[in-house]
Amino acid sequence: MAARNLEKMASIDAQLRLLAPGKVSEDDKLIEYDALLLDRFLDILQDLHGEDLRETVQDCYELSAEYEGKQDPKKLEELGNVFTSLDPGDSIVVAKSFSHMLNLANLAEEVQIAYRRRIKLKKGDFVDEANATTESDIEETFKKLVGQLKKSPQEVFDELKNQTVDLVLTAHPTQSVRRSLLQKHARVRNCLTQLYAKDITPDDKQELDEALQREIQAAFRTDEIRRTPPTPQDEMRAGMSYFHETIWKGVPKFLRRVDTALKNIGINERLPYNAPLIQFSSWMGGDRDGNPRVTPEVTRDVCLLARMMAANLYFSQIEDLMFELSMWRCNDELLARAHELHRSSRKDAKHYIEFWKQIPPNEPYRVILGDVRDKLYNTRERARQLLSNGTSDIPEDTTFTNVEQFLEPLELCYRSLCSCGDKPIADGSLLDFLRQVSTFGLSLVRLDIRQESDRHTDVIDAITKHLGLGSYREWPEKQRQEWLLSELSGKRPLFGTDVPKTEEISDVLETFKVISELPSDNFGAYIISMATAPSDVLAVELLQRECRVKKPLRVVPLFEKLADLEAAPAAVARLFSIDWYKNRINGKQEVMIGYSDSGKDAGRLSAAWQLYKAQEDLIKVAKQYGVKLTMFHGRGGTVGRGGGPTHLAILSQPPETIHGSLRVTVQGEVIEQSFGEEHLCFRTLQRFTAATLEHGMNPPVSPKPEWRALMDEMAVVATEEYRSIVFQEPRFVEYFRLATPEMEYGRMNIGSRPSKRKPSGGIESLRAIPWIFAWTQTRFHLPVWLGFGAAFKQALEKDTKNLQMLREMYNQWPFFRVTIDLIEMVFAKGDPGITALYDKLLVSEDLWPFGERLRTNYEDTKRLLLQVAGHRNLLEGDPYLRQRLLLRDSYITTLNVCQVYTLKQIRDPNYHGQVRPSKEPASKPAAELVKLNPTSEYAPGLEDTLILTMKGIAAGMQNTG
């Protein structure tokens, strides 16, 4: 046995080489990176938990790889037998190991992608790059616009100056990795990158290797499971951590690159610092739709916290700026101001580290900036006191209350330097600082408020009843509008404090009160979910006025369900035809369209097409009324909820719908993928900016009438099939609950809001996130593809010429191509063999034929999809992605098998495997892991094993929900 062990230990590397997919190109180091991390990890596992467990992990990996090779379901059963033979502690360790190995595989992948990009940039060669379509390089985009599309550099510059991309960070509960682990992962990534650097000395290598081992072990030793659900304040703090880690420094760095790219097309001026190229907003602590934990107090806390953080970030930079601006030459205006400040200033300030003595007047810039520093200090302290005590003894006039006051002295310094011939100095840190102030203001981000339309109706209903006018809820739309408008045109206050309030009504009114008390630059839009009629918007306008909101927030209706999207253009047209409203909005309106719920309601194909058409129609309506419309896209991270590569997603929007202003949500785990590191942050800003510019200056083609007609027919068939299964099949909900871990999802403690809108109820009340999450876990992805098969089949049977037309659509129409490519990627991640195992173990026998039917549908849909795309195999156009998925499959499969056997033990207490005798003493380290969850209602170890498999599979599928 010992000899076999030795042989096995030596051969893990060789084994891996055999199991792993081959290199794709010369610069492909993925397999190397992956093997190195895996080796390190297995050594650590053996040190911590002994040789037996290391062997178990290797056996599982090999069984899984054999299954992947031959698709033989017997291998899955063998794998299952390994799991059921483990004691509770060991099964936690094995699940934890595979979850960990998947995270390491993801890190290897990120390092490889970054490495290939660096090589490409050095060669200046994007030509052979399948990736070029998904990568928007700002320089490439400028060159393309000027070189191929014959735009003048000035046109590009003018367009760019007026462009805005507003990225809205939302705390969707899909970031399933804890922050403590994310930080360790970042350090593993850095070690790996440095290990492969060219000029590394043997000592460096040894130290990096030790550091790598240390970080991998630290991550493995951290409890991956959140033991308590996060509060909205926690979510907000987690979201804000990206600002001080990457975004704060990333924005000026990116804008410098834009300047450089402009110079290279012959524009010799910089982007004005107040050009609103990138803006940030947030929903964390403002989104109260279906989340009772977001109270008015939470909203207030979150705003003050963001103000405090912003002032602190500026404060930490201002002394560096004071050091830099040591010049004495300045213009008269600045000199006069410096003298005045010098005369009136206090003596020494001992609480500063630098420049604590009074600054002499022969350093005029420092005198000016010293005053800015004092105000920033007070601004920060005032926010801190308001946050902790509700009051502050710092007078408001010693702080910055609006961004103009803050910009004014900085602009004065900038002008003065330029007029004294020191423009190169002005364009250094001072310009970066000015750009930060223009981007982040005093509030860091603007908070959007989101509430369901029904809650506003309740409030107004209580008011009309109290005034003896009857029930607003029962009035028809026309009567509602007339009454709201007459109140809005009037001057008298509508209600006093004596309106009878339920808890829910006072919650809505208190929220408006918080909005009226805090500075207006804290807030962005007021979003109404489930909006259907003009009265929904007018009701919010009236409530803002009644609660004395000095600068009312712009009101944004959100259209999500299929029927609402169809009715949206007419609803917006009715709104624009109201004179009072048209005067109020000053020619600008924002409309939000939701991707998640529309997909859950009608399936991906119909939702995507309806979203496309709704945007076109909304733009037409806006043009008709002379209003500039901004579309706000509520995309999730997963394909089922509207996710996918940014660049392609933007370029596949209908022509004229972006027009230089775009708002997009960046949700949950996508925040980490977009802003987790400096280079990721840079690429995200670049992608959004470049793609938005290109969409405006080189719009995608409009679909031909015959393409539209075909899409319309296919969408009807797809919706019909999707709904016939999801909503009309009498036992579908029962099957869904049995065949997936949906019932156990709530235990993951990912987010602060409940997974259902209403505690009872079927699919309708389930939030879009757990609905997608559950199907992603079983590798079946039903909500994404269901409906496509029937639609293609019907189109091809109706007319054989349709195949040609569909291929033409795929090759010429970005919207159609993106839709198909994303579905293809989802099929590449799916595996009906795994889904069949879930059915066999968890679903009652009389439902097996139903599962079979769905899997046949899956295979048919996949076949038809490849036929339409003209591909022989999945992802043949993207060998890199294919290789990365292959590398991950064996890990994910092991976790799936572990999950399904664990679910079996949880749901059927009489089910037991043969626990193998353990050679280790009972007090072994694995047994301690069981004690981390003493209150579980399941048998020991099961709940933690299950949660670890959920997290692991989510990490492997890379798009949680």
Report the SS3 class of residue 1. Answer: coil
DSSP label of 221: T
473 vs 802: CA distance, rounded Å: 49
Q: Is 337 labeled as catalytic in the residue annotation?
A: no
Residue of 433, 434, 490, 495 lying closest to 465 (CA atoms): 495
| Token pair of 652 as six digits | 């596949």
Residue of 352, 349, 332, 348 lying closest to 340 (CA atoms): 332
Residue of 76, 82, 84 lying closest to 52 (CA atoms): 82
727 vs 764: CA distance, rounded Å: 9
Among the listed residues 40, 100, 172, 456, the single catalytic one is: 172
898 vs 837: CA distance, rounded Å: 11
Residue of 233, 228, 383, 229 lying closest to 294 (CA atoms): 233
Give the list of residues 6+ apart from residue 747 with CB closer than 8 angstroms, or none. Answer: 943, 946, 947
Cβ distance 271 to 262 under 8 Å?
yes
779 vs 950: CA distance, rounded Å: 12
With residue 589 as reference, give the H or E element that holds it.
Answer: strand 588-594
Neighbour count for residue 429 (Cβ, 10 Å) = 16
Torsion of CA 367, 373, 378, 383, to 10 degrees: 160
Type of residue at 569 = P
With residue 834 as reference, give the H or E element that holds it.
Answer: helix 832-842
816 vs 37: CA distance, rounded Å: 39
Residue of 359, 371, 247, 255 lying closest to 318 (CA atoms): 371
Task: Encode 197-224: b = buried (16+ Cβ within 10 Å), e = exposed.
Answer: eeeeeeeeeeebeebbbebbbebbeeeb
Among the listed residues 49, 337, 641, 888, the single catalytic one is: 641
| Token pair of 561 as six digits | 């369900």
Report the SS3 class of residue 667. Answer: strand
Helices 248-264 & 153-161 angle (0-180, nearest 10): 160
* Distance from chain centroid for Cα 573: 31
Give the list of residues 6+ apart from residue 120 with CB closer than 8 angstroms, or none. Answer: 126, 129
Among the listed residues 75, 480, 600, 904, the single catalytic one is: 600
112 vs 196: CA distance, rounded Å: 11
123 vs 116: CA distance, rounded Å: 11
Q: Is 635 labeled as catalytic in the residue annotation?
A: no
Backbone phi and psi for residue 941, each to the nearest 5 degrees, phi listed first: 85, -20
Q: How far is CA 140 from CA 420, 662, 684, in A?
A: 36, 21, 15
Q: Is 679 labeled as catalytic in the residue annotation?
A: no
The terminus-to-terminus CA distance of the chain in angstroms comes to 45
430 vs 425: CA distance, rounded Å: 8
Burial class (CB in 10 A: 0-12, 13-18, 19+), 356: exposed
216 vs 219: CA distance, rounded Å: 5
The residues carrying an active-site annotation are: 172, 600, 641
